[in-house]
């Protein structure tokens, strides 16, 4: 065993010195390899972190949302639906929500407006997200004017800014009192945007949803688990699309690696000839070449992965952002929580190292079976 390990050590030693002797060629290969790993790893890390973030955020959302549908469109739901639901076994809480979107033509962006607090919240005070504050140049104490449904202008004083760490959801958020919301959008008392129900036992959620759709046939219940599942598949779908696009470059890399491994210079050919002449066997040469591939692969994988880590978690993945996050004027600025996942790492390995290994097997074999006298002549 010790002998085996020592032999491998000498082989690696030899490989390293031989790689260093051919600096230009080795570095060229390493650069291309690293770039491939970097791109794939950036996509992987970024989508995975986003998926994680979405999942964490939705943990706090209610289990069931009930929306009223009219002619296939989402419509305001009357408050007496809450009474019509009555007491459903398993439902801990039920409440109506008021929320909507407001298009601001000045900055050409949509705000998400939600209501907060009881009816005694001051009518003219609002809380805004940092994204809005940034584009409008606002701060606490400043005034923000919104145009109501009827054409009047309402001025609100900003009482606070939403915290930075929730910027992924709160960048475009605007919180106001329910009364102000009804005035702004001319929504009569007794109507809500939708209803939310919280169900304690996850196994009862489906049953409650079934009862709801019988009780209120003009509504649709939306389950939190469904939303989570959708997020999950949308993100892995987007990641898959990007992978398919990057597959072209992986293929190019495979051809490049094949070419590099088979197009040996006269110098290298001579080197292998001498090795075989001094007593190396074909298997030894192949083993040496195997270690060469391993050294290059591991270095490229490590550097590429670390660079991608920095790109995603410190530079906010500036290269892929628009594709993976979607488009918006009010881009949230946020740092993702670093998250490394074994499955993602394995997938990445299969997409980068495996093609390299497969591409170099045949060229390596071709090199190592060469006859010493033929190559040295």
Partner 1 sequence: MLLNPAIMALVMVSAVICLMLLLASWFAVRVLSHWDINSGSERQLRLERRTYLISTLLVWAFSFQLMSLLLFIYNAESMSGQFVGAMCATGVLNVNAWGWPTLFLKMGVFFTGAVWLVLNYLDNQGHDYPLIRYKYWLILAILPLVAAELILQLLYFTNMDPAVITSCCGALFSSQSEGVAGEISGLPPAQMMPGFVLLGAAVILSGVWVAKRRQGGWLFALLGGAAFIVALMSVVSFISLYIYEHPHHHCPFCILKSGHDYIGYLLYLPLFAATALALSVGVISPWRKITSLTLAVDRIVPRLSWIAVVFFSLFYLVAAWSVWTSHLTMTGVWW
* Cα 355 from chain centroid (whole Å): 24
Nearer Cβ to partner 1, position 111 or 243? 243
Contact 132, 111 (CB under 8 A): yes
Among 351, 356, 367, 375, binds partner 1 (CB under 8 A): 351
Site string for partner 1, 104-143 (x = CB under 8 A): ----------------------------------------
| Residue 61 is a binding residue for partner 1 (CB under 8 A) | no
**Shortest distance, position 283 Cβ to partner 1, whole Å:** 7
Total site size for partner 1, rule CB under 8 A: 33
Q: Which residues in 119-254 belong to E strands, given as ranges? A: 125-128, 143-147, 153-161, 173-176, 191-192, 194-199, 219-223
- Which DSSP helix (H) or strand (E) runs through 91? strand 91-97
340 interacts with partner 1 by CB under 8 A: no
End-to-end CA distance of the chain: 38
Nearer to partner 1, 345 or 376 (CB): 345
Interface pattern 221-260 for partner 1 (x via CB under 8 A): ----x--xx--xx--xx-xxx-xx----------------
Nearest 5°: phi and psi at 76?
Answer: -65, 145
Tell whether residue 163 is a contact of partner 1 (CB under 8 A). no
Distance CA 272, CA 250 (A): 29
Our CB check for partner 1 shows the closer of 192 and 351 to be 351
CB of 199 to partner 1, least distance (A): 16
How far from 362 is each of 85, 184, 288, CA to CA, in Å? 70, 72, 15
Range in contact with partner 1 (rule: CB under 8 A) among 4-12, 105-113, 190-198, 351-359 = 351-359
Interface characters, 196-225, with partner 1 (x: CB under 8 A): -----------------------------x
Separation between Cα atoms, residue 62 and residue 227, nearest integer Å:
11
The CB-of-276 to partner 1 minimum distance in angstroms stands at 13
Q: Which of 286, 306, 307, 324 binds partner 1 (CB under 8 A)?
A: 286
Q: Which of 151, 188, 217, 342 binds partner 1 (CB under 8 A)?
A: 342
**Mapping DSSP to helix (H, G, I), strand (E, B) and coil, where does residue 66 land?**
strand
Per-residue contact string for residues 27-56; x = within reach of partner 1 by CB under 8 A: -----------------x------------
- Contacting residues for 257 by C-beta, under 8 A, at least 6 apart: 29, 33, 355, 356, 359, 360
> Would you count residue 70 as binding partner 1 (CB under 8 A)?
no
Q: Is 305 in the site for partner 1 (CB under 8 A)?
A: no
Instruction: Look at strands 125-128 and 173-176 and give their pairing.
Output: antiparallel
Separation of alpha carbons 373 and 61, rounded Å: 75
- The CA–CA distances, whole Å, from 350 to 88, 104, 250, 301, 347 equal 50, 47, 11, 11, 5
Closest separation between CB of residue 361 and partner 1, Å? 6
Q: Which of helix, strand or coil describes residue 249?
A: helix
Q: Which of 283, 326, 327, 377 binds partner 1 (CB under 8 A)?
A: 283
User: Is there binding between residue 301 and partner 1 (CB under 8 A)?
Assistant: no
Residue whose C-alpha is closest to residue 372's, from 313, 284, 300: 284
What's the min distance (Å) between Cβ of 351 and partner 1? 6
326 binds partner 1 (CB under 8 A): no
Tokens of 288: 């040496």
Minimum CB distance to partner 1, residue 230 (Å): 9
DSSP run (H or E) holding 100: strand 99-104
Task: Based on the shown chain and the rule CB under 8 A, indicate whether residue 298 belongs to the binding site for partner 1.
Answer: no
Q: How far apart are CA 363 and CA 358, in angstroms?
A: 10
Q: Contact region for partner 1 (CB under 8 A) — 110-118, 192-200, 278-286, 316-324? A: 278-286
Residues that bind partner 1 (CB under 8 A): 44, 225, 228-229, 232-233, 236-237, 239-241, 243-244, 282-283, 286, 342-344, 346-347, 349-351, 354, 357-358, 361-362, 364-365, 368-369
């Amino acid at each position: 065993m010790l002998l085996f390990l020592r032999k491998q050590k000498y082989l690696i030693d030899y490989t390293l010195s031989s790689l260093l002797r051919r600096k230009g060629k080795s570095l060229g290969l390493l650069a291309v390899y690293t770039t491939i790993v970097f791109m794939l790893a950036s996509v992987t890390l970024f989508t995975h972190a986003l998926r994680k973030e979405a999942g964490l955020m939705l943990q706090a959302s209610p289990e069931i949302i009930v929306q009223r549908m009219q002619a296939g469109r989402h419509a305001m739901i009357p408050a007496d639906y809450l009474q019509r639901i009555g007491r459903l076994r398993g439902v801990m809480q039920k409440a109506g929500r008021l929320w909507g979107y407001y298009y601001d033509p000045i900055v050409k962006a949509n705000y998400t407006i939600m209501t907060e607090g009881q009816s005694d919240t001051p009518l003219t005070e609002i809380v805004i997200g940092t994204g809005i504050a940034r584009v409008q140049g606002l701060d606490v104490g400043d005034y923000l004017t919104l145009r109501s449904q009827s054409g009047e202008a309402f001025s609100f004083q900003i009482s606070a800014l939403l915290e930075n760490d929730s910027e992924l959801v709160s960048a475009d958020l605007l919180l106001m009192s329910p009364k102000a919301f009804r005035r702004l959008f001319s929504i009569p008392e007794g109507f809500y945007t939708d209803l939310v129900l919280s169900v304690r036992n996850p196994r009862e959620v489906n049953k409650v949803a079934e009862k709801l759709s019988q009780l209120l046939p003009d509504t649709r219940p939306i389950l939190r688990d469904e939303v989570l599942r959708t997020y999950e598949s949308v993100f892995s779908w987007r990641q898959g699309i990007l992978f398919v696009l990057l597959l072209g470059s992986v293929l190019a890399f495979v051809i490049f690696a094949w070419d590099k491994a088979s197009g040996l210079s006269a110098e290298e050919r001579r080197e292998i000839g001498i090795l075989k002449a001094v007593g190396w066997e074909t298997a030894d040469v192949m083993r040496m070449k195997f270690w060469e591939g391993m050294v290059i692969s591991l270095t490229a994988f490590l550097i590429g992965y670390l660079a991608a880590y920095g790109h995603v978690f410190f530079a906010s993945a500036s290269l892929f952002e628009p594709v993976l996050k979607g488009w918006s004027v009010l881009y949230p600025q946020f740092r993702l929580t670093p998250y490394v996942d074994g499955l993602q790492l394995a997938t990445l390995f299969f997409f980068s190292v495996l093609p390299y290994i497969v591409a170099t097997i045949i060229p390596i074999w071709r090199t190592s079976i060469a006859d010493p006298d033929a190559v040295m002549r």
